[in-house]
Amino acid sequence: MSPARRSLSMVKGEHRYVFRYVEGREADLLGSFVMLADDPDCEFDWFDAAVLSYRMGQQLSQCECEAVLPLEQG
């Protein structure tokens, strides 16, 4: 079974940021957040990086719960 593909998105003003990544490559995504937040020419800032990092953590927690708990069957 191949790793799941995930995505995070954010709209800020006229900009839309969409990040797609493969489960298990979260550290690479965090690195991308840092690079964007460090770029003075980019509207993406450290607050945006923190928000998306938090949302990524929520996704990870949800995935871990789904792996442990069986899905309800209707």
Per domain, the residue ranges of the chain are 5-64
CA atoms of 23 and 8, how far apart (whole Å): 12
Give the Cα separation of 60 and 26 in Å (integer). 9
Torsions phi, psi for 23 (to 5 deg): -50, 135
Query: Alpha-carbon Rg of the chain, whole angstroms?
Result: 15
Tens-place pLDDT, residues 14-24: 999 999 999 88
pTM of the model: 0.78
Find, among 20, 14, 32, the residue nearest to 59 by Cα.
20
Per-residue model confidence as pLDDT tens for the chain (74 residues) = 788 899 999 999 999 999 999 988 999 999 999 999 999 999 999 999 999 999 999 888 876 656 556 655 55
